[in-house]
Amino acid sequence: MRVFSPTERPKPWPERKADVRRRWTLAFVFIEWSFEWAAFFLSNWKFLEVLEYIGSLSVLVAVLFYFSESGDRAKQKHYQAWQVINTAQGKGGSGGRIEALQELNVDHVDLVGVDVSGAFLQGIRLSGAKLVRSNFSAADSRNGDFRYADFTDANLSSANFRGSNFYKAWLQGAQVNDADLFGADLTEANLAGANLANADLRDANLSNIRWHEIANLKMANINGVKNAPEGFVSWAVKNGAVTTEPIPK
């Protein structure tokens, strides 16, 4: 904020005129002297100082209103994101759902029960998302980031998760049957109660997965799985999994 201080009172014109050495500069000196008097009067005019304070106060009030309304703006943003997701429900393509879901997740909004079945969500980033009872069936979520995500009781059947990252993801009771998890990273994923029937787990990273309580592995293809826990492969085959080699092209 500007600090007001009265300027020094200018000399009377006769005295100022007497200081002029060159007559041709007299007109310029007079103009300058006139402005000095104008500045002198204005610097002593308290009304201008009041206006300056009012201007500073208005900025402060605007800042306070901005922060006081931040909650309403966040609600409006979230409402618009949900509108995008719900409007596109049951339709193919992205329809803006990738950005909407990521935006909600960044703001720590639970995505419990969200339905994105059949959606194109390739490369989506939903690390740490709360996706309990969500529906990703037949969705194309290749190369997605689902680290620490909670898919408890979710429907992931027939979804494409090739190359996706499920590091420490929770998949308890999830329906992952017929899903494509080729090359996916399931490191430390919790698969207790999960249905993986007919799932493609080829080349998937199974390091430290929780596997003893997997509900169904019938016809799941575990060919070439990486870092499988000791005893997993033999147990899986015993429970109906297969190790089918890929068909040469």
Highest mean pLDDT among 20-24, 44-48, 121-125: 121-125
- 94-249 CATH fold: Pectate Lyase C-like (2.160.20)
Cα torsion at 218, 219, 224, 229 (round to 10°)?
Answer: 0
pLDDT greater than 70 at residue 119: yes
- 8 A C-beta contact, residue 119 and residue 92: yes
Cα torsion at 172, 215, 178, 227 (round to 10°)?
Answer: 80
pLDDT in tens, 55-67: 666 777 666 665 6
Q: Average of pLDDT values for 221-235? A: 97
pLDDT greater than 80 at residue 18: no
Q: Average of pLDDT values for 15-40? A: 72
State the Cα–Cα distance between residues 201 and 169, nearest whole angstrom: 16
Q: What is the mean pLDDT of the chain?
A: 86
pLDDT band (50, 70, 90) for residue 249: very low
pLDDT in tens, 184-218: 999 999 999 999 999 999 999 999 999 999 999 99
pTM comes to: 0.71
pLDDT in tens, 149-181: 999 999 999 999 999 999 999 999 999 999 999
In the structure encoding, which two tokens stand for residue 126, read together? 């939903």
Write down the pLDDT at residue 148: 98
- 8 A C-beta contact, residue 167 and residue 188: yes
Q: Which residue has the higher pLDDT, 18 or 88?
A: 88
